[in-house]
Amino acid sequence: MPEIERNIVKTSEGMQLTTTLYGNDDEIIGEYGGFISAKYPRRFAPAKLWVRRNHRGRGYGEKLMQETVATGVALGVDRLVGHVESEHALRIRAKLFGESALHFYDDGVSIAGGMTVEAEAELPITYEQAIQSLQRASEYEDPEDRKIGFNVEVDLKNTDKLS
């Protein structure tokens, strides 16, 4: 059974959260983390989620995100904000938090790192339209290199799926 390690590093700028998943041989299977700004302590801005290729498809990405966000919530976070470029990452958020908790913003407006988003910046698209857009983009660009996607905010207060 993989072991989970949570790490919180506090600085004057905020807190860095990292959740690491280890295999039986202490091999790192995957990792997920992000930052809670001291200026905006209720927002968690995630960094890259990754799982080793030979361990994918086992729910480890979901587990890492769930554990990290739960740590953030325990620290007072009520929003998960960040850029999503892959259909898979968006599906994980929908599965864990519910489609209705997802709000999409124009890529030109930064919401990560504590930046304020104006209400008119929200995109009038549904979850399914966002998935379709990411699917179309993946046909033309390598998912590892592309610079497309959406800023997505997850309202953690208004989801009944967070455990």
> Are residues 95 and 37 part of one domain?
no
- pLDDT, one tens digit per residue, over 131-149 is 998 888 877 766 555 567 7
Q: Is residue 10 part of a domain?
A: yes
> Are residues 38 and 1 part of one domain?
yes
- pLDDT, one tens digit per residue, over 64-100 is 999 999 999 999 999 999 888 888 889 999 999 999 8
DSSP lists the bridge partners of residue 5 as 20
By three-state DSSP, how is residue 147 classified?
coil
Q: Is residue 163 part of a domain?
A: no
> Are residues 66 and 85 part of one domain?
no
Assign residue 32 the CATH number of its domain. 3.40.630.30
Residue type, position 50, single letter:
W
End of a domain among 77, 105, 133? 77
Q: Is residue 139 part of a domain?
A: yes
> Are residues 48 and 59 part of one domain?
yes
- pLDDT, one tens digit per residue, over 95-131 is 999 998 999 987 554 454 555 444 447 888 999 999 9
Q: Is residue 1 part of a domain?
A: yes
Q: Is residue 114 part of a domain?
A: yes
The answer to whether the pTM exceeds 0.75 is: yes
Within the chain, strands assigned E span 3-11, 14-22, 28-37, 43-46, 50-51, 79-84, 102-105, 150-155
End of a domain among 77, 109, 125? 77
Helix (H), strand (E) counts: the chain: 3, 8
> Are residues 116 and 45 part of one domain?
no
Domain tally for the chain?
2
End of a domain among 57, 77, 97? 77
Q: Is residue 152 part of a domain?
A: yes
> Are residues 45 and 91 part of one domain?
no
Range of the domain at 121: 80-158
